[in-house]
């Protein structure tokens, strides 16, 4: 009697497909149907390839969602709230950087079988990375507006960091966001070199060396330049 009551008590209450509320809430039926079945695969490593890419897309979706809200907080002068979300967003990029190495479990020769079924699929069409490109500039603009509003330059902010603790913290998170993206690119570049080589072209005709050049690109150059200026200023004061 007691057992039956417990069973009923914990019966699923959410709408949608799935035996349990876990499956219904997380929509696991749909999620787990998003990868090729063994019968559909050209090579068994397609599951590894799809899992790594699909989960990267999810983490990038979350990262950009947090950056957009953080930008709204910066505009409203709510720096602590922005800082909290930017920490989470940078952690997302760290996660996808770590997991990219899962693809090094594929043999370069066997990957050629996977590559044949990718069509013209290219990372340049990654919705997650295109979102990174979209949400990053407004974050930079909102930050610079605040710095200007305080009557400061970035260099002055760094020199007087203790007087502007939160704004300084925000500046450091912007540089961290930028740095984490660069580090992802560096790891991705080495992965690509390791799997298909550094002197070949990608599925959309892009030479792999272009990926190497992208590693040097930064989204917040003023924040990096400020370091040079601080070093020059310190030398003047010596």
Query: Which 146-165 residues touch ligand HEM, going by CB under 6 A?
Result: none
Asked if 123 touches ligand HEM (CB under 6 A), the answer is yes
Residues 83 and 18: their CA atoms lie apart, in Å, by 38
Sequence-ordered list of residues with C-beta below 8 angstroms from that of 78, at least 6 positions apart, any chain: none
Q: Give the distance, in angstroms, between the CA of residue 147 and the centroid of all CA atoms in the same chain.
A: 26
Nearer to ligand HEM, 98 or 204 (CB): 204
Q: Burial, 115: exposed, middle or buried (Cβ in 10 Å; 0-12, 13-18, 19+)? A: middle
Interface mask toward ligand HEM for 59-88; x: CB under 6 A: ------------------------------
* CA atoms in the 13 A half-sphere facing the CB of 174: 27
**Binding mask 37-56 vs ligand HEM (x if CB under 6 A, - otherwise)?**
---------------xx--x
Taking the complex as a whole, the smallest distance from the CB of residue 215 to ligand HEM amounts, in Å, to 8
Give 158's DSSP letter. H
Helix or strand run (H / E) with residue 51: helix 46-75
Tell the smallest beta-carbon distance from residue 176 to ligand HEM (Å). Answer: 18
Binding mask 169-198 for ligand HEM (x = CB under 6 A): ----------------x--x--xx--xx--
Half-sphere exposure at residue 194, Cβ-oriented, CA atoms within 13 angstroms: 14
Which of residues 50, 69, 126, 218 is near ligand HEM by CB under 6 A? Answer: 126
How far is 53 from 106, CA to CA, in rounded Å? 14
91 binds ligand HEM (CB under 6 A): no
Q: How far is CA 157 from the centre of its chain?
A: 27
| Site membership for ligand HEM, residue 219 (CB under 6 A) | no
Nearer to ligand HEM, 103 or 170 (CB): 103
Question: What is the contact surface with ligand HEM in residues (CB under 6 A)?
Answer: 52-53, 56, 100, 103, 111, 122-124, 126, 129, 185, 188, 191-192, 195-196, 202-204, 206, 208, 211, 214
């Amino acid at each position: 009697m007691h057992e039956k009551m417990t069973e009923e008590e914990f019966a699923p209450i959410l709408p949608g497909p799935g035996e349990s509320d876990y499956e219904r809430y997380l929509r696991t039926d749909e999620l787990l149907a998003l990868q090729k079945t063994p019968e559909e695969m050209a090579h068994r490593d397609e599951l590894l390839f799809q899992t790594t890419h699909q989960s990267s897309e999810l983490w990038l979706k979350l990262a950009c969602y947090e950056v957009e809200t953080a930008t709204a907080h910066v505009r409203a002068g709510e720096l602590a709230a922005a800082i909290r979300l930017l920490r989470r967003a940078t952690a997302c990029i760290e996660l996808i950087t770590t997991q990219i190495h899962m693809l090094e479990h594929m043999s370069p020769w066997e990957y050629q079988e996977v590559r044949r079924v990718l069509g013209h699929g290219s990372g340049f069409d990654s919705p997650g990375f295109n979102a990174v490109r979209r949400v990053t500039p407004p974050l930079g603009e909102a930050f610079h507006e605040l710095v200007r509003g305080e009557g400061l330059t970035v260099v002055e902010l760094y020199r007087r960091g203790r007087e502007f603790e939160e704004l300084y913290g925000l500046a450091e998170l912007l540089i961290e966001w930028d740095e984490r993206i660069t580090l992802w690119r560096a790891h991705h570049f080495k992965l690509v070199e390791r799997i298909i080589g550094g002197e070949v072209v990608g599925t959309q005709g892009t030479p792999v060396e272009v990926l190497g050049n992208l590693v040097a690109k930064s989204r917040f150059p003023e924040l990096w330049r400020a370091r040079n200026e601080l070093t020059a200023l310190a030398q003047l004061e010596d």
